[in-house]
Chains A and B, each alone.
Chain A
């Protein structure tokens, strides 16, 4: 390309933006007819300007609006809590918080089962959480009770207020979900699903983009975890044992004597938060049992393949409700 005349670069820009006086513009146009360098430069400038305008006309790419909203809520809520702001209401934030707006998509059907049986469980007796955070306590909110009513799934806020869990209610970090005779499925926007078994209690300990952790206080959870991005973690902690996802589908069960982990697909890393045993990778098709006072990771044995597939939430929930 032959270069434009040096003195004309600014004038060409002025001509392009229409800020050149008419007489000067006319002279410059005459020059463009005689000077290929300036003409080519001006043509490219015009195309570049047109390109800029076309960029401006494009719509923004589609985004995960709900996830962004949930993140905004969560950050504001955290800031508010950190600042100890008590005067102002939480506004819209509790409605759509949590990392990916963990949505309750099932479990209500399980209530029907619960209505037939009606044992009202005692308030949860938690194992030592192995961390400095306060232990979950039974609810004390207005009209709320910490222990779920027969067949009901309750959610207890981080402040101890209990209320029945509603279908499709978004969950917040720090909330505990308690089941009695029913079961409940929690669904994340990224496709991850967690099934909380009967007579179980789990706390959504962390719901962040890169770190999601559930504390199982009693009972059983089964998790079908969608593909994790690099650096993203999903884990379940039960009695100081952390089960960290390296695969996709696993179950953790906590009773008075042990923590049992079944891996149905992929693999998980089992580690002791109090260094009772070295980290242990449990591959697909294997199970591991960690005794309450054990100094080892326990024994491994083939896991029974009796869990419904998590690939289809309809099947999954169907199975849950039919039991």
Chain B
């Protein structure tokens, strides 16, 4: 592994795999912000972020032995984030509250504060994303929100590039169709 992942990162991972206490603590400190950011983007503003970040690191330290250095450590970490977040999305979607987004029934608050509007719009974006199947939602977020290309997404979700592109195509189609049905930016357009 040290050969495949050269430098300080490789050493850190090897020490984590050996159960070195300070290394695991360093690993947590090094990657916690990126993990939180990824989980936050995948799940949206209403997620119980602390719980999910906790789940991600529990999973990371449970399975870091399995990391063989075939991918970058960050790619592996994104994969864990996405898998944990997907489990959470699936659990939520099984709940009876449902996530249908009735047309014009999304929260909409006109406010002079642009920040508030932007947050509200972000909330609507995630409400639409909640209507997508988890796999489509994931590739959409990884591409459109987090800016990964199809090849990187393929590594993160464990699918080939063609599959990613297909999922992304249908995800975009569903997402933008739903976005046009909602009042996202409707007030601006009227103005």
Closest Cβ–Cβ distance, residue B85 to chain A (whole Å): 13
Bound together, the chains give a CA A76 to CA B64 distance in angstroms of 13
Closest Cβ–Cβ distance, residue A307 to chain B (whole Å): 33
Closest Cβ–Cβ distance, residue A94 to chain B (whole Å): 8
Chain A, range 88-128, C-beta contacts under 8 Å to B: 88-96
**A95 near B21: Cβ-Cβ < 8 Å:** yes
Chain B, range 19-51, C-beta contacts under 8 Å to A: 19-25, 28-29, 32-33, 36-37, 39-41, 49-50
Closest Cβ–Cβ distance, residue A230 to chain B (whole Å): 15
Chain B residues near A51 (CB, 8 Å)? Answer: 118, 121-122, 125, 184
**A59 near B37: Cβ-Cβ < 8 Å:** yes
The yes or no answer to A75 lying at the interface (CB within 8 A) is: yes
**A41 near B180: Cβ-Cβ < 8 Å:** yes
The yes or no answer to B147 lying at the interface (CB within 8 A) is: yes
Which B residue's beta carbon lies closest to that of A62? B36
Chain B, range 103-122, C-beta contacts under 8 Å to A: 118, 121-122
**Contacts A72-B61, A89-B21; A45 near B180 (Cβ below 8 A):** yes
**B32 near A65: Cβ-Cβ < 8 Å:** yes
**A45 near B19: Cβ-Cβ < 8 Å:** no
The yes or no answer to A55 lying at the interface (CB within 8 A) is: yes
**B176 near A68: Cβ-Cβ < 8 Å:** no
**Contacts A43-B189, A59-B37, A68-B50; A53 near B58 (Cβ below 8 A):** no
Main secondary structure of the interface of B (DSSP, over half): helix
Chain A residues near B19 (CB, 8 Å)? Answer: 88-91
The yes or no answer to B146 lying at the interface (CB within 8 A) is: yes
The yes or no answer to B162 lying at the interface (CB within 8 A) is: no
Closest Cβ–Cβ distance, residue A144 to chain B (whole Å): 20
A to B CB contacts below 8 Å, 19 in the list: A9-B176, A13-B172, A13-B176, A45-B180, A51-B121, A51-B122, A55-B122, A60-B37, A63-B32, A65-B29, A68-B50, A68-B57, A69-B28, A75-B58, A91-B21, A91-B61, A92-B23, A94-B21, A95-B21
Chain B residues near A53 (CB, 8 Å)? Answer: 144-145, 147
The yes or no answer to A56 lying at the interface (CB within 8 A) is: yes
The yes or no answer to A322 lying at the interface (CB within 8 A) is: no
Closest Cβ–Cβ distance, residue A43 to chain B (whole Å): 7
Chain A residues near B21 (CB, 8 Å)? Answer: 89-95
Chain A residues near B161 (CB, 8 Å)? Answer: none
Other-chain residue from B20, B24, B41, B185 in contact with A56 (beta carbon distance below 8 A): B41
Bound together, the chains give a CA A85 to CA B130 distance in angstroms of 40
Closest Cβ–Cβ distance, residue B87 to chain A (whole Å): 16
Bound together, the chains give a CA A47 to CA B191 distance in angstroms of 15
The yes or no answer to A64 lying at the interface (CB within 8 A) is: yes
Chain A residues near B144 (CB, 8 Å)? Answer: 49, 52-53, 56
**B50 near A64: Cβ-Cβ < 8 Å:** yes
**A45 near B50: Cβ-Cβ < 8 Å:** no
Other-chain residue from A13, A16, A49, A67 in contact with B50 (beta carbon distance below 8 A): A67
Chain A residues near B127 (CB, 8 Å)? Answer: none
Bound together, the chains give a CA A62 to CA B122 distance in angstroms of 18
The yes or no answer to B100 lying at the interface (CB within 8 A) is: no
**B185 near A9: Cβ-Cβ < 8 Å:** no
Closest Cβ–Cβ distance, residue B179 to chain A (whole Å): 5
Chain A residues near B146 (CB, 8 Å)? Answer: 56
Bound together, the chains give a CA A4 to CA B177 distance in angstroms of 11
Chain B residues near A47 (CB, 8 Å)? Answer: 184-185, 188
Closest Cβ–Cβ distance, residue B147 to chain A (whole Å): 6
**Contacts A40-B189, A54-B118, A60-B40; A72 near B180 (Cβ below 8 A):** no
Bound together, the chains give a CA A9 to CA B122 distance in angstroms of 22
Chain B residues near A90 (CB, 8 Å)? Answer: 19, 21
9 smallest A-B Cβ distances: which pairs?
A92-B21, A60-B36, A56-B145, A91-B19, A60-B37, A60-B40, A92-B24, A52-B144, A92-B25
Bound together, the chains give a CA A59 to CA B35 distance in angstroms of 11
The yes or no answer to A44 lying at the interface (CB within 8 A) is: yes
Contact with A along B159-176 (1 / 0, CB 8 A): 000000000010011001
